[in-house]
Amino acid sequence: MHGEIGFVSEPGVGSTFSFTGAFGKGEVSSLDSKWKQYDPVVSEFQGMGALIIDNRSIRAEVTKYHLRRLGISVDITSSLESACTYVSSIFTTSAFAHLAMILIDKDVWNQETVLQLRSLLEQHRKNCKLNVSTNLPKIFLLGTSMSPVERSKLKTSGFVDNVLMKPLRLSVLIACFQEALGGTKGKVRGKKMSTLGSLLREKRILVVDDNKVNRRVAEGALKKYGAIVTCVERGHDALNKLKPPHTFDACFMDLQMPEMDGFEATRQIRSAESEVNEKLASGEASIEMYGNVSHWHIPILAMTADVIQATYEKCLKCGMDDYVSKPFEEEQLYLAVARFFESGL
């Protein structure tokens, strides 16, 4: 790419990594198709306001970028004290009416000041004689390394409405905001999860991955929606499991595996299906011999962290039907399986 990689590190402060490179202009159509899956959801956040509290300007700008993608207007302060001053200054303006959320970075977190901020918001509700049901801004904590126990304790104690872990992902932000803001937004998310559950419930899914942790994560994500999951660790095992006739409804296939990778495993699965389909079409074999299925083609979805166009095209060329990125995102998982299960395939 004819570029350079470098970094500057300062003890007690941190490191700044940089790189340069020559990039071609991307296809607008590919960006549009990626964004379309979020369009209906994004409109829910249009016109909302957010306050980011972060003492690192670059880090705050990154958070601001993600929120702006959702149509949320953003203000930034560098400390909790300045945030209290800012909130007080907008009480009588339209800006406060639109302030839906306050995001606090863990580096500036201070329990006493956060309580002071919450008290300030509650006091404004009382002074303005607002209804108790009137929504005050939701408070989110931004962190990079917190245990599930820490996150749960902060939520149950009432200090924050939720904890967002970095790096921020658009799908996670959407789900988290919908849940916290409630109303129709929470219902939309609930409906989506319910729909995904109805699509996958009782579906028999084969997960193929040589990494034990990846298998467990994939299995957990699919079982969450009622799927019946079987896991194997090798491409050869997948061939044995998916030799017609079998009872699987879909297969999630890792790409990089020893001995036989996901591409080759898929090619051989498709070859075996083609042989059976030819026998069925010619009358050499009856459908009763092959599970009363007249045409064999199991949906195979690649599991990969590499979602560049070249990899996607290679997946399609070897016979895969689609891909899902690791880790699973609910929205993408829904879009991937809906093609096959909504149509009854």
Per residue in 114-125, pLDDT (tens digit) is: 888 888 888 776
Looking at residue 249, its amino acid is D
Q: Tell me the C-alpha distance between 253 and 236, whole Å.
A: 12
In this structure, what token pair is assigned to residue 188? Answer: 């939309």
Which helix or strand (DSSP H or E) is residue 14 part of? strand 14-19
In a domain, 187, yes or no: no
- Both tokens of 220, joined, read 């957990």
The CA distance from 285 to 294, in Å, is 10
Residues 216 and 330 in one domain: yes
* Low-confidence residues of the chain: pLDDT under 70: 26-43, 125, 128-134, 148, 182-198, 306-310, 327-335, 338-339, 342-345
Predicted confidence at residue 344, as pLDDT, reads 42
- Indicate the number of domains in the chain: 2
DSSP assignment letter at 135:
P
Q: CA 184 to CA 165: how far, in whole Å?
A: 25
For residue 275, what is the enclosing H or E element?
helix 262-282
Tell how many helices (H) and how many strands (E) occur in the chain. Answer: 14, 12
Q: Which of 181, 210, 242 is the last residue of a domain?
A: 181
CATH number, residue 73: 3.40.50.2300
Q: Does residue 261 fall inside a structural domain?
A: yes
In this structure, the answer to whether residues 148 and 227 fall within a common structural domain is: no
Distance from C-alpha of 52 to C-alpha of 97, rounded to nearest angstrom: 17
Residues 145 and 203 in one domain: no
- Number of CB atoms found within 10 A of residue 207's CB: 25
What is the model's pLDDT at position 332?
64
As a whole number of angstroms, the distance between CA 67 and CA 47 comes to 12
User: For residue 308, what are its two tokens?
Assistant: 């560049």
Q: Does a cis peptide bond (omega within 30 degrees of 0) precede residue 245?
A: yes
- 164-169, Cβ contacts within 8 angstroms, sequence gap of 24 or more: 164/103, 164/140, 166/142, 168/62, 168/63, 168/66, 168/142, 169/329
The reported pLDDT for the residue numbered 185 is 42
Say yes or no: 226 and 146 in one domain.
no
pLDDT at position 36, please? Answer: 47
Say if residue 255 is in the same domain as residue 335: yes
Amino acid identity, position 204: R
Which ranges in 70-211 belong to alpha helices (H)? 80-89, 94-98, 111-127, 148-156, 170-181, 183-200
Residue 24 lies in a domain: no
Residues 300 and 277 in one domain: yes
Q: Are residues 131 and 239 in the same domain?
A: no
From 125, 155, 181, the end of a domain falls on 181
* One domain for residues 171 and 61: yes
Buried b (16+ CB within 10 A) or exposed e, 190-205: eebeeebeebbeebeb
Q: Is residue 312 part of a domain?
A: yes
> Does a structural domain hold residue 320?
yes
Total length of the chain: 345
pTM of the model: 0.48
Closest C-alpha among 114, 95, 103, 111 to residue 59:
103
Q: Name the residue range of residue 207's domain.
A: 196-341
Based on the fold, state whether residues 150 and 254 are members of the same structural domain. no
**Are 169 and 200 in the same domain?**
no
Does any domain span residue 154? yes
Cα–Cα distances (Å) from 22 to 1, 4, 25, in that order, read 6, 10, 10
Q: Which two tokens stand for residue 10?
A: 């300062």
Residue 198's identity, in one-letter code, is S
Residues 150 and 79 reside in one and the same domain? yes
155 within domain boundaries = yes
168 and 70 in one domain? yes
Query: Is 31 domain-assigned?
Result: no
pLDDT single digits (tens) 174-212: 878 877 886 444 444 444 444 566 678 889 999 999 988
Which of 153, 181, 209 represents a domain boundary (last residue)?
Answer: 181
Calculate the alpha carbon distances from 272 to 144, 265, 275, 337 in Å: 47, 11, 5, 23
CA–CA gap between residue 268 and residue 263 (Å, rounded):
9
Token output for 307: 């979602």
